[in-house]
Structures are given as structure tokens and as C-alpha cells.
Amino acid sequence: MTSETRNLGDLLGRRRSSGETAMVSVDRNGQCREWSFSELESGSLAYAAFLREKGIEPGSAVAILAGNSVHNWMAYTGSMRAGCVCVPVNTRQPREIVEFILGDADVRIAFSDESNAAVVPEGIDHAMLGDVAPLDDEPQLPDVNEKSAAEILYTSGSTGRPKGVVLSHASQLSMIETIVGSTDTEVFANQRGIVVAPMFHMNALIFIASFLSSGGSLVLMSRFDAERFVQAINAHRVTVITGVPTMIALMHTAWLELGRPKLPSVNTVYIGSAPVTEAVAAQSSEMMPGANILNSYGTTETGGGIFGSHPDNIEKPATSVGYPTPQTELRLDGNGALVVRAPSMMTEYRNLPELTAARLKDGWFDTGDRFEVDDNGFYYFTGRSDDMFVCSGENVYPGEVEKAIESHRSVLQAAVIPVPDEIRGQMPVAFVVSRDKRLSESDIQDHVRRHAAAYLYPRRVWFVDSLPLAGTTKVDRRELMRRAEKSIMRVREVA
């Protein structure tokens, strides 16, 4: 395979014939099965051969509508090895959004598991995961230009319809190589990761690819259950964890309820997708005192691997995402939003040329994520620019308010959202996870007034045991808006 024909689906290298364990699948009932590297390779080639036999041409879009499973991974890699473009779909979205994605991507065939079979619309060729026949002979597979599309990942669509992010083989391989050094190293040899993030999300896909390509093995859970997650870490001697702040907070609650079990095998914890607070970092260290806690950052459009260690070996602060890696160029615009140029960049937004031109200029991508930089050059993720709303004529960034709330020693996590207000236009309200049940709404409001601009204080505060998660495992802000509006309406009706 030449550098011009590298394929993201072909990751196992010399391990493809190995009988060593590559994955341990854990289903919804907690049942486990081990899968070797050679089984993953055979399965991947079987799905590639199936697509070739079906007459699915290279460049065609192949969708996967399924929960986490080894067959999901086989279909994902197999579709790319057949020269197709893989489209993993979030089936937790409304049916009309799923249908929009399949139409927007011009999907030729869709794989699904049993629980998502009914989601596949009529008129699209449909095959069940697990029904693909084993190989008799190794298939003839096409060469694929590394600059061609490997996959289309659709964003969560928090503002309007989801956007299809087109990613090339070269861009994703460059990201993996940034993480592990190259796709044929042993960085994760003798390491075992665990994946609970959904496999339509880049976090899961890149974590799996990075581990398998560099000699590691993985525990693949069908879904996130905090108690089973903690138990699986010890049962399978997991050494590397990846998750989002809310998952860590839920894990900590389960860990306490399980009697604070020791988790001695864990040596590294990657936390990303949202700003990491001192409280979340402290929870991680409490559960896994010997582990290296790493605050990570990446977007679907730019990939991960943008930040790393400091070239002068200066220790990274707990809440920093790190120092820019050598192959990454960064700058902050006038609003503090991060603009990036890196090899792992997307090609375009599918069928959205105007948006592509607006966000991707001369190879620089405007992330819309707001950052701060300290004197040592370490970056800190503070929130989304497009989450900004106006309250009484003042710009309010939820991340700024959340940071102020989470600086209170009794707060574990906070989420701030806008709600309509007849006088102010919109006003900030907060949902707070507290370690102290005596903490009151006025305590939070006074604390924010002391530590931030007066107009930023949340006009209402609700205390919750945990923040709800969306399908992407990020905080479900739509659900919080629904709860807030319902609560405010109830108060108005009583008044």
C-alpha cells in the first residue's frame, strides 16, 4: 500500500493474523466475548466482500444504524476497504432527522442491528449486521486515494439540521499518527482501553482505531451504565479511560455507591468534549489516584491531536487542554474563538458550499470554540461562541457562567442555558450538581456576582443529582431547556 492509497479501514498491519485478544465485547446483559485481531480482520474483509458482491461501487455511501458492537466496527472498516464512504448514524435522533441524513449522504445501502432495523427507511437497500457470510477467499479490493472521502460524520444538530462533515482517509490517519506516533507502533501495547461512547461519534471511532493500530486491546460496551462501567474496569484490568465530564461525574457517583472500590489498573484518563473543571479532575484523581488525568480537545471538523505536551516539559495544568502540537497552527480571533489549520482537517460540509466557505478559509477552520491562553502557552477551553445569547443588551457566554459557578467548592458540575424573558430578551438559568445538599439558589447567585460580571448571575438555579446526556454523551441542553421552561411555566401558573 503506497502513501497515496492508504485506507483508514486497513489499520491492523502485521497484527491482522494475530490470535491475541483485540476486543472484549460487553452486551446489554453484561455478557462478554473476546475477539482476536485475526477475527476482526476476517470480519472486516467479509463486509468489504459483501458490498463488492452487492455491486456497491467505490465512492458510494454506506450507512450504519446500530449500537456499539464488534460487527459495527467490522462494517465500518469493511465499507472503507471496499472503497465506500461510511456514514455512522445516530439513531437516537428523531426519525425525520435520520431520514434527512440518509438522503443528504445519498446512502446506497444501510447496515443495522436488530433494535434499529425499523429505523431504516423503505427504498434503501438494507442488510443486518451479523448476517454477512464468512469469507472463503480474500476479496479483490480497490485501491483508494488517501485524499478521497473515508467517512461522513454528522454533527449533533444542536442548531438546525445536522451537518455532514466529510473526512478523508489521509486526515483521519494523520490524527491517529499524531496520537500514537505512527500506525505501526506499539504505543498502546499491553494497554487496555474501554469504549462506551457511541460509535457514530469521533471520540469512539478514533479511540478504537488508535488502540488497535498500535497494539492495544479494548473493552467495547454496548452503552454507558455507570455502575457496570466501574465494574468492567476492574474485571478487565482496564488501563486507559476516555470520557466526557458528565460521564466522569456519573462514574464517581456509582463508584461511591459501590463502596469506593480501588481501580489500580488505570494509568491514564482522557476527558474531553466539554470544559473540565477542577472538581471533575479531583473526582478522577480520587477514584484513580495513580492515573494521569488528561484534559483533551477536538472537534469533528478538526479532529483530535491538536494539543499535547509543552516542548519545555512544563507540567500541564489540570484544566488546560495542552500546548499546540508541532503539526498544528492555531490562533484566536477577536472574540477569543479558536481558528485551526492541521492535517486532520475535514474536506467540507456535505452539500453546504456556502457554510464550508464561511468556516474553512485558506485551510483555516473557525471552530467557534472560545479559549484562553496562559503565559506558558497552555490553552483552556471555555465554551462555544455560538452558545452566546444576549441578556439586557449584554453578551452572555454559558461557559463563562459555568466556570464561575463551578469555582464554588461545593459544586461538582453546572450547565447554563438561556430562557426567554419579556424584559431582558433572554436570561441565564443554571442546573447544578452539588456535593453539599445545603447549598441554595442564593448561594450560587451571590457566588457568581462576586466572581464574574453582575449581569452573568443565573436568575434561576435548579439542583439535580446529575446532568442529562444526549446521544453524543454530551450534556443534553435541549432537555435542560425543556425542564427550565416547564418549571418556569408552572411557577407562572401558580402565580
Domain housing 175? 3-373
**C-alpha span between 88 and 61 (Å, rounded):** 10
Domain membership flag for residue 434: yes
Residues 279, 411: Cα–Cα separation, whole Å: 7
CATH number for the domain including 463? 3.30.300.30
What CATH number is associated with residue 44? 3.40.50.12780
258 and 407 in a single domain? The answer is no
| Contact assessment for residue 80 and residue 126, using Cβ atoms and an 8 Å cutoff | no
For 423, the grid coordinates are 424584559
> pLDDT value at position 70?
97
Name the residue type at position 431: F
Spatial separation of the C-alpha atoms in residues 454 and 336, rounded to whole Å: 21
Out of 349, 373, 397, a domain closes at 373
The three grid cell numbers given for residue 75, joined into one nine-digit string? 462494517
The answer on 268 and 170 residing in a single domain is: yes
Does residue 392 share a domain with residue 368?
Answer: no
Residue 225 resides in a domain: yes
pLDDT (tens place) for every residue of the chain, 495 residues total: 445 558 999 988 888 889 999 999 998 888 999 999 999 999 999 999 999 999 999 999 999 999 999 999 999 999 999 999 999 999 888 888 899 999 999 999 999 999 999 999 999 999 999 999 888 788 889 999 999 999 999 986 544 688 999 999 999 999 888 888 744 445 688 899 999 989 998 889 999 999 999 889 999 999 889 999 999 999 999 999 988 887 888 899 899 999 999 999 999 998 876 667 777 888 899 999 989 888 888 888 987 778 888 999 999 888 888 999 888 899 999 888 899 999 999 999 999 999 999 999 989 999 988 899 999 999 998 877 777 788 877 778 888 899 899 899 899 889 999 988 877 788 999 999 998 899 999 999 999 999 888 889 999 999 999 888 876 667 888 899 999 988 887 766 554
Q: For cell 474485571, name the residue.
A: 235
Does a structural domain hold residue 289? yes
Domain count of the fold of the chain: 2
352 burial level (CB within 10 Å; 0-12, 13-18, 19+): middle
- Given a contact cutoff of 8 angstroms between Cβ atoms, the answer to whether 359 and 301 are in contact is yes
Domain check: are 326 and 275 in the same one? yes
At 13 the pLDDT is 82
Using alpha carbons, select from 362, 378, 365 the residue that is nearest to residue 308. 378
Q: How far is CA 310 from CA 307, 321, 478, in A?
A: 9, 11, 37
Q: Are residues 350 and 399 in the same domain?
A: no
Distance from CA of residue 418 to its chain's centroid?
24
Contact 295, 315 (CB under 8 A): no
Which of 373, 405, 430 is the last residue in one of the domains? 373
- Residue 345 sits in the same domain as residue 408: no
Residue 165 half-sphere exposure toward CB, CA atoms < 13 A: 24
Same-domain status, 66 and 23? yes
Output the pTM of the full model: 0.84
Shared domain check, 406 and 268:
no
Residues 455 and 322 in one domain: no
Average pLDDT of the chain, as a whole number: 89
DSSP 324-391: E-TT-EEEE-TTSEEEEE-TT---EETT-HHHHHHHEETTEEEEEEEEEE-TTS-EEEEEEGGG-EEE
User: Who's near 95: CB < 8 A, 6+ residues apart?
Assistant: 119
434-445 CB burial, b ≥16 within 10 A, e <16: beeeebeeebbb
Cα–Cα distance for residue pair 47/110, rounded to 1 Å: 12
Q: What is the pLDDT of residue 159?
A: 47
pLDDT at 156: 65
